[in-house]
Amino acid sequence: MWAYNVSITSELYFKVNQYLSDEIPLFEFEDWFYANLGELVGLPPSNELVLAGEIQLGLSELGNEDITEGQFRKNLAMVQHNETYIISGTPSITSVSAGVGTSGTIVTGDNLSDDSIILVPNP
């Protein structure tokens, strides 16, 4: 069982927002991120873990000059606003359309109660 650290996840979103709104420069964001990386990678499967992984990848690509800082910012903003559903076990996935302007993917899995489904919106 993971010990979920709410303060590090809150701080992660806070720092991402500070960086994206130009309140802190890249070097300050990067320093904070790497100083807290050990705690971030210890998070349980979650949106925050996905975000931390994407930040680590983006900073690596940025350091290798594979992407520009503008591309890093754009990618980070997209990942931050994306909802990722982490489901253990073998999920059953079905694409659906659920009415006017609503479509998505229904995900059911072993760890959900018998009546539970998740509708993941299509982009």
pTM value is 0.63
State residue 47's pLDDT score: 83
State residue 78's pLDDT score: 85
State residue 49's pLDDT score: 87
pLDDT < 50: residue spans in the chain: 1-3, 84-123
Look at the alpha carbons of 79, 83, 93, 4 in this order and tell me if their dihedral is positive or negative: positive
